[in-house]
Structure 1
């Protein structure tokens, strides 16, 4: 996949109305992130069809669930996702979690074959540890395009950012707004007041302050969709970033 992931894409978990995604595309979103387990690939596909946006302008990602990661299931499961999306290919296909039928020595070569066949633009991993990433690199026959993880002011792993930097791929932050749980924390609230923006925009700007990291926040209203895109233009001061980095509270929203 010879494309750069946009700084802000659209996370679609829980989105069941294609109009939301169609609105997002109209506002300028070009990276759409879904997954088999979200149960809304059909919704995403309908929005893409309704938007009339040229396919080549969109970067569409989905994820294989843990029950379909055996080598013999990968192709069939991927084709089912393509049918639901109404697409001939997806730009990015993730291993959603390294468990269930996942085995790096058999799953990853099967995924690499999909890239060679043109069904998939690139392979990503999601919710992996550094050790899991190292093992995966030994068995992938194509470059790792992205690693998607929970990443927000209340939960992030510096070692995963470092791995992305060292190996030259983007870390894709899901739930970058921490479901609003960071909005009232002093470092976030005070930065929002200082810049005249919302706490949500501060959270996103903090996520994007590391050049290796991009984000896929979920939003449903046009106002929130627009505000998330505008956060790309917000630059926090180094001391504000450091204060958010130092928040002494850990809340993992989606533990293994």
Structure 2
């Protein structure tokens, strides 16, 4: 069965198998003291929430935390930019998932005018060194950029406005997601170029089709984090859905424009 067109039954079967592999890895991670940090970034309505739900569904609630950073307080705004995020970093045996992260300053803040040009530039210069320190300290860092097309984003944002079960996903920034789509594209391109590194690479996920994207993410996490005995039982993600960032992806159609 192709990952690009999973039927309902095939999708559920693959999902459960991959979730089981992730559970087995977390058992290993707790025993070995792995410190796992997974960063989810992407445009509004790119599928971050749903993907995170599938990851955490069967994981330990004590060893897993999902962080959606709130708006910084006045005190936090006066601190070193990365300072507020340090409190949420994983300890031994923990998995922390950021549903948006310090990369707000790489996209949302400069597009919406929530930071200055100098603050944005300073962030882009500092973040590779900050992430390098995390990796050097033993943090297993995975950075995921979920990419969605203009057309699919418009459809999903409209569903948020009209479906009462999705109303809590709505945000005052939703309208700007479409009207400033090109600005967000430019910010994304600059952020990926300048914050992708050997120590902390970006992995891009084409998420117009939610189910293939979720399966690809689960496969990537298992194959990236788990020991060989577990990872070898999981197929590699479809490269048409998930791939390591490279400059060519900015112009060859793999990332939405």
Q: Which has the higher contact order (CA 8 A, sep 6+)?
A: 2
**Same fold, judged at TM 0.5 (above):** no
Structure 2 length-normalised TM = 0.32
User: TM-score with structure 1 length normalisation?
Assistant: 0.32
